[in-house]
Chain A
Amino acid sequence: MLERPKRKNPVLRTRMPTLPPAARSRVALGLTAAAALGRFELQQCRDCGTVQYPPREACQKCLSIRLDWKPQSTDGELLSATVLHHSNDLFFRERLPWRLGLVKLDCGPTVVAHLHERVATAPSRVFVAAKLDRAGQAVLVALPDKEANMAEDRQLREFTCDPKFRKVLVTDGKTALGQATVKALAAAGADLIWVGHSEPWKKFAGFDELKAIPQVTLLPLDVTDSKNVKEVAAEIGGKVDILVNNAEYHRTHGIAARYGVDTARAEMDVNYFGLLRLAQEFGPALRGRGADGLASAVAWVNVLSIYALANFPPHGTFSASKAAAHSLSQCLRAEMRPAGVRVINVFPGPIDDEWNQLLPPPKVAPAALSGAIVKALREGVEDVYPGDVAQEWLARWRDNPKALEKELST
């Protein structure tokens, strides 16, 4: 069990973030692409079916270049294990001893994997998963069982962004999603949750219930107000370990149905510039604390929309603002990476709220979405598409983005 980290001595130096080795060949990034979605996929030859690892440019059996990344059985046998007491890399040197294993997967290849502490002495059965490490690159981990908690494991916690014992800022507590997210984070063991509300003179629905949660501190936060964002960051920025940006402005217009730019500008001001303001004020503080002990700064969550991938014309300007935010989040991800702070993008389908009133079900319930956010933090994925609509759009978009555009325009 993970023990509550001791209070930090503010006089002591904060350890600078280091990253595990991040270089990968392009072909190896297929493993990362799947791991970013929480999937375990290996290269499989379309012609002869051979599963291979490490990733290659051609099938090692039949030399075919028709290689697909396919989900594979995660079962395997630990053949041999070691505990490193020496490493040539700073990241691991600071975290020794470090346990590793050689695992023969039932689907064929032998792999090197980080070991969960509960994995039994070789030979033993294990489950292998692909996870993003602090450098944002995929690594394989071997677990004793499918339910093994990575966040409670000294080594594997490095690959998660678990909220337990961490301090979180949720930028908007006014919405059903914001409130559900706060509750889910509290239930997941977050230490402190700051909750922003943009109109502090008004008591919104659910205010009292939110205030009654012991970990919660409400504070005025308006992401369209640069001065306010700066002040809030000055006050709490150095303590935030996880920032969940759920502030959103959503109207349901395309171009012709709403003349002028006011609505579109308001959407951009919250959805895009709001993210930019937060990133400029909170980003540097999070970056400085990427290796600050067991409860270091660890993640930044953006609630985007599946409409960020392809424009949904009935919500055309909203889609555009989310696409802009998505693009900016990729910049943020690149800038947070040296500190090992993960940027998690959440792409929900339509949320079951007032602005999606006219859309048919299935719609994502706020509680389900908040659950997906906490799960993404725990499992350390990078992109998450909660809900059936998001999953379906993602599949259509990955299959043929042009086809999706045509389908959405009719």
Chain B
Amino acid sequence: MARKSYEGVAVAVPVTVPYVRYSIRAAHWWLARCLAGLLTASGLKKEEIDGFSISSFTLAPDTAIGLTQHLGLSPRWLDHVPYGGASGVVALRRAARAVQAGDVDIVACLAGDTNHVDSFRLTLANFSQFARDAVYPYGAGGPNASFAFLTAYYMRNFGATREDFGKLCVAQRANALKFPHALFKKPLTLDEYMKARQIADPLHLFDCVMPCAGADGFLVMSEERAKKSGLSHARLLGTIERHNAFASDPVQMRAGWALDRADLYEQAGAGPEDMDFVQTYDDYPVISVMQLEDLGFCGKGEGPSFIRKHTFTWDGSLPLNTSGGQLSVGQAGAAGGALGMVEALRQLTRQAEGRQVKDAKLGLVSGFGMINFDRGLGSGAAILGC
């Protein structure tokens, strides 16, 4: 059956609760700040928001429903999306359908995590049953080790060099210098990237995200409702979600985007060449390249030549991760899955200040999440327009 259109759905009010490296607060604090930020920025009352979509690793033992009592909410629609880096896109897609169906008027999508000094290690040790049984006992390198395998394999098979990945990281740092909430404030040169200390061969320091605490959020409602409240917004033109695609590939070199991208572009009536910017999920540069390939910006294995041909700063030939991405802003747990979404909204509603992509009308946001064992399981993408 053909998928119904996402017409009439507005996405608005990008909010970032400024990240910090470590926090003594719980995830609830970060999500509360994020909701408060959404209310302040939108002028809406708490009671007017009748739907919530929550994504957080460190909210445990609570889930979304516990948060309703914690924050005094009484929603008629509630979703918990524990999909890590895919959760921003997934939250939007599901909220959009609920809005279209009339199940809810306004959904606040909140993604955030705290980061205590020892949180990251504990999260890794108990990330999934497969991780605990079959990955963590092998050096406890966490996602660094998993992405080292993928990066080494990609480099060997498709001729990518460290310089190629470095070009993405350096461009993103330049973008981050224009984003006040980025945790990395110093410029990064390719030389510094190349000389950084080794983490998990072939990954070096600047290939890896830095765990931190933070939250990001946005609102989903009908275009009518957004106009009524005077909220500048983007329109959802198309979106896809897929989990555990290509399970029999011995090593992950592609994910769900490759399966569903035709559907995505058909919904939007646009192709990759029409995108004014792209926000990929970028916990490691290799995964950004995989997204660019699977989303049709270039063919499989053509990532290296694509990188050499383009520039990726906010004013480049393909603006990529224009707020700096997780690599230069920080990875605030599940908020990493919403970082690209709020940046896309800023770009499309002309709030991107010093890094505004000129005449940006169409943008693509991609999500990728949950290294359950040897690969990321969740993938999704959304095309937004203004």
Contacts and interface: CB of A to CB of B under 8 A. Distances in A.
B162 interface: no
Contacts of A84: 139, 141, 144-145, 148, 199-200
A79 B249 CA distance: 12
22 contacts: A21-B140, A22-B137, A24-B132, A24-B133, A53-B134, A54-B133, A79-B149, A79-B250, A80-B153, A80-B156, A82-B148, A83-B200, A85-B197, A87-B140, A88-B120, A88-B121, A89-B140, A92-B140, A101-B149, A104-B250, A113-B138, A133-B137
Contacts of A79: 149, 153, 250-251
B64 interface: no
A23 B136 CA distance: 9
Interface string B113-142: 000000011001110011011111111111
Interface of A: 20-25, 28, 53-55, 60, 79-89, 91-92, 98, 100-102, 104, 110-114, 122, 133, 135, 137, 139
B374 interface: yes
A20 B201 contact: no
Contacts of A54: 129-130, 133-134, 373
Given A85-B198, A85-B199, A98 B139 contact: yes
Given A24-B133, A100-B145, A112-B134, A86 B199 contact: yes
A113 B202 CA distance: 18
Q: Give the 4 A-B residue pairs with the shortest CB-CB distance, closest first.
A: A89-B140, A82-B148, A28-B133, A54-B134
A237 to B, nearest CB: 31
Contacts of A91: 140
Contacts of B141: 82, 84, 86-88, 92, 100
Contacts of B133: 24-25, 28, 54-55
Most buried by B among A25, A104, A113, A137: A25
Given A25-B132, A85-B198, A102 B137 contact: no
Nearest to B144: A86
Contacts of A81: 149, 152
Contact of A110 (B126, B138, B201, B251): B251
B140 A102 contact: no
B137 A110 contact: no
Contacts of A53: 134
Nearest to A55: B133
Given A54-B130, A110-B250, A110-B374, A80 B144 contact: no
B14 to A, nearest CB: 32
Nearest to B123: A88
Nearest to A54: B134
Given A85-B201, A110-B374, A137 B148 contact: no
B98 interface: no
Given A82-B202, A112-B374, 5 more contacts: A24-B132, A25-B129, A54-B129, A79-B251, A80-B153
B150 interface: yes
Contacts of A60: 247
A260 B152 CA distance: 72
B374 A21 contact: no
Nearest to B249: A110
A122 B155 CA distance: 12
Contacts of A101: 149
A85 B138 CA distance: 13
Contacts of B373: 54
A111 B137 contact: no
Contacts of A112: 134-135, 138, 145, 374
Nearest to A102: B149
A54 B135 CA distance: 9
Interface string B152-168: 11001000000000000
B140 A82 contact: no
Nearest to B126: A23
Contacts of B197: 85
Nearest to B204: A85
B251 A102 contact: yes
